[in-house]
């Protein structure tokens, strides 16, 4: 009888372990889904904040230019339409991920796209003195590349929204072990509030083992450092 009791005890123990393993797998799957949706929410914030800031700046410029130079106003409206279409395309891609169970990134961006961000910034009336970005290698992991892209995007958005003279500097410093991005511009009234953009950027950077520092001395300065 003791042998029989021992057999059933072992059988029950095995079943409990199987149930625990199944629950652990389920918990990990649910956690992965939460992490993915949090990432998508950050992506959505970056897309909306950057493109809406650009559209507002362009619309203001077109309104002032309309009376003196209708052609400039017409060209600016074309840029607004192009910017809006690109933002809508990116948002649709992210929303398609939310509808699917599969984890995928339809809007993977890399360091080669940073040049386009800088060009877009100039078109919106932002004067950005940038150096060193041509030294960033394209052989980095996709996650590092997309993080660098989103960091630059957020820094440009902050300049566009808060810099009183719409002028700033962006510097990239590359070594064998790390990549550093330094942003500086005059302080605006709203930059005492960290905002969700800086919070999301800090989360991205820390997720890759990097660091981020914000200084509000004579200028508003953000320094981001990522390992290679």
CA nearest neighbour of 107 among 61, 98, 190, 15: 98
In the sheet that holds 127-131, the strands lie side by side as: 127-131, 167-174, 178-185, 220-227, 211-216
For 166-201, give the DSSP string: SEEEEEEEE-SSEEEEEEEEPPPGGGGS-HHHHHHH
Q: What is the pTM of this model?
A: 0.58
- Render pLDDT for 133-148 as a digit per residue (tens, 0 to 9): 999 998 888 878 888 9
Instruction: Give the separation between CA 173 and CA 180, rounded to whole angstroms.
Output: 5
In the chain, which residues have pLDDT < 50? 29, 32, 100-107, 191
Q: What is the pLDDT of residue 67?
A: 72
Q: What is the pLDDT of residue 168?
A: 92
């Amino acid at each position: 009888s003791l042998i029989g009791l021992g057999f059933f005890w072992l059988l029950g123990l095995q079943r409990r372990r199987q149930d625990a393993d199944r629950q652990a797998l389920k918990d990990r799957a649910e956690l992965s889904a939460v992490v993915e949706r949090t990432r998508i929410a950050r992506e959505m914030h970056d897309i909306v904040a950057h493109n809406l800031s650009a559209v507002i700046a362009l619309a203001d410029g077109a309104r002032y230019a309309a009376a003196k130079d209708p052609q400039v106003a017409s060209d600016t409206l074309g840029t607004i339409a192009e910017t809006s279409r690109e933002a809508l395309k990116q948002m649709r891609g992210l929303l398609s991920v939310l509808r699917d169970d599969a984890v995928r990134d339809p809007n993977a961006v890399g360091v080669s796209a940073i040049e386009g961000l800088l060009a877009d910034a100039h078109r919106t009336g932002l004067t950005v003195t940038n150096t060193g970005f041509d030294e960033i290698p394209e052989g980095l992991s996709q996650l590092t590349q997309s993080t660098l892209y989103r960091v630059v995007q957020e820094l440009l958005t902050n300049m566009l929204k808060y810099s009183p003279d719409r002028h700033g500097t962006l510097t990239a410093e590359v070594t064998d072990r790390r990549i550093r991005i330094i942003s500086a511009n005059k302080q605006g009234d709203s930059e005492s509030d960290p905002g969700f953009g800086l919070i999301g950027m800090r989360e991205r950077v820390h997720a890759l083992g990097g660091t981020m520092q914000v200084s509000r001395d004579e200028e508003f300065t953000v320094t981001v450092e990522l390992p290679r």
